[in-house]
Structure 1
Amino acid sequence: MANLKRTPLFDLYQDSNAKTIDFGGWDLPVHFSSIKDEHEAVRTKAGLFDVSHMGEFEVEGKDSLAFLQKLLTNDLSKLDDGQAIYTAMCYENGGTVDDLLVYKKTDEKYLVVVNASNIEKDWEWMIQYKPESVSMKNVSDEIALLAIQGPKAEGILQKQTDSTLADIRPFRFKENVVVAGVEALVSRTGYTGEDGFELYIKSEDAAAVWKELLEAGKNEGLIPAGLGARDTLRFEAKLALYGQELTKDISPLEAGIGFAVKVNKEDEFVGQAALKKQKEEGLTRKLVGIEMLDKGIPRAGYEVFVENQSIGFVTTGTQSPTLKKNVGLALLDRTYTELGTKVEVQVRKKRIAAEVVSTPFYKRPRP
């Protein structure tokens, strides 16, 4: 696979028998053992992901908050130092530029984490709104990102640091935490529906930390996990994926992440008027869960019908490793989104019966 980008951990993939694929121009592991085994490990024990392909921008300066508020749908004014927030960035028409995380370090210093396939697009979009009083730096190549996820994640990671991880609450982070002998920004975030942490470290430190964590967790069931399990895990938890649930043609409200859209926030943001109108007039389509009633898997892009009328399409679908059922997320005409509504999915040349079901497909058990 010529000219594909590689993360700092690429040379270690082979040690764990990784099968790599072209993922948005990156040579990344789809799995190390199998998607089902890795999925199960994260749900019951722990998995370690290399997500160093994600993009990171440093935003600094006295008008950093005003700049980010102008671009982002969520309200950053309420953030404390050491807090992270999930948000979207939209076009004027309400379509989605990207979904992202923002980490507030101080009033004048933020870390913005964007999707790998959108790094250049997001940079160009943000730079056109940037005032002179704000500096932006793309540090994506300097930072590696490791995610340790699952019910045993905290215990395993705690072995490698003297900082008390229990003090880091969900969507909070600590800087300058020494993990496996190197400094890291440690946040209690993830993309699996499980408890866990994400570690932002210098690229040159990534390989050593990866090895130390796998060693520390080997008796607890920690295994390396690839993009395949990351996708099935996030899908079961109904976490949106850019390019599928969110696109330039799908708004954050339609994609079901309305909690990250504050249409009435005082600081006006790009796309606010369009999203406010969508909310006030009512959405014409909605993201719902569907379960196949007959054999067949609802794949992304498959059309959905009711009585020969096309009513939408599947955004993500698979056989759920946890439920052992063929399920999908579909963006459908609102008329047909009531629970129990019978629909048909066009699977190749055949239409297969399905019904609208509740989501998320999986919720983490409360401790």
Structure 2
Amino acid sequence: MRSLIFLSFLLLFQTLPLHGAEIYVHMMPWFETKETNNGTWGQHWTMANRNPDNIVDGVPEIASFYHPEIGPYASGDPDVIDWQLGHMKAAGISGIFLDWPGTTDAYDYAKNKENAEAIIEGTKRAGLKFAVVYEDNNLNLAAVPDKIAQGQADMEYLQSNYFTEDNYLKVKDAPLLLDFGPQALHDAEWDEVLEPLDPKATFVTLWNQGQQAGNYVQGEFAWVWADFVDTLIVWYANRNVSVKIGVAYPGFHPFYGEGGWPGPMFYIEYGVPAFNTTWQMALNNTDIIQICTWNDYGEGTIIEPTLEYGTQFLDIIQEYTGSKYTSDDFRKLTDIYFMKKKYADDPVMLKLLRDKHHALVHKFDELT
């Protein structure tokens, strides 16, 4: 109760910027279908005990309380990517912060990296920006024997393949690099890992962890946590870092317990109220906002269109950004997606549909 009272006070005496913040969404590239995963559904749809081939209460049985509007998908499918990024463009979102597994060849990391690169190609088609969120914990999970050497190899790959892209996001005149940690690398180890970069990236860690990331760190990004707004209030008001990236999210409704996986089990009621609260706080306190997440179905933080919530979260973003697109454009994007799948074997129809999608996504470009 005290947090909510303080939050009301905080919001009352701060001025909401008018269409000033840049909005990005944290995006997962790790979903697979039977067609893309050697005849079995990817683990992020199944966890330990779900099977999307089973229809329960009219929807596929996936490891989530929420269901994609277009059904369980493959992250590397260009039609899926265009549907996702088209919705972002129509909402006025600037781009994506892409969860990136590194170049370690373990588990499903190589496929995730392949999907990530398909998504990056999609950002070019849509006219969106992107930056990478490095998962340094994968060095732990893959039991990498020389974490510093592998970290350096990952940085060199980023510099050679991503940072040079015209649509890679730059902050403070350098490529923005976020790390979901530190978890595997700490302190001076980060200095060694980042040393090969030229120019140095604008390096940003998870909130309240910048002091563990060596001398090159320049900021932090906020995330969802069990106490909802309490830590956010303190972090926004008191954390003195050069680059501060705020967060908005619709709640936290994890499926780990039901799905038989380990993971955080706290609960924040999912829906528009939680999104509005964190959204307004972020707008009032930061110039760059990361929405967590676009599509983490396992943790229940999704804002992409679902059967349960439609485009409610995108509608809020669209209103703030003053996007010239409308909710009807969201519907058209989904209609085009389903038509592409219907006519997947008809190259003439596919070209017409792709042209139609392109025209829709870019119809206001000349006005911006």
Same topology, TM > 0.5: no
The structure showing larger relative contact order (alpha-carbon pairs under 8 Å, at least 6 residues apart) is 2
Give the structure with the larger strand fraction. 1
TM-score between the two structures when normalised by the length of structure 1: 0.26
Give the structure with the larger helix fraction. 2
TM-score between the two structures when normalised by the length of structure 2: 0.26
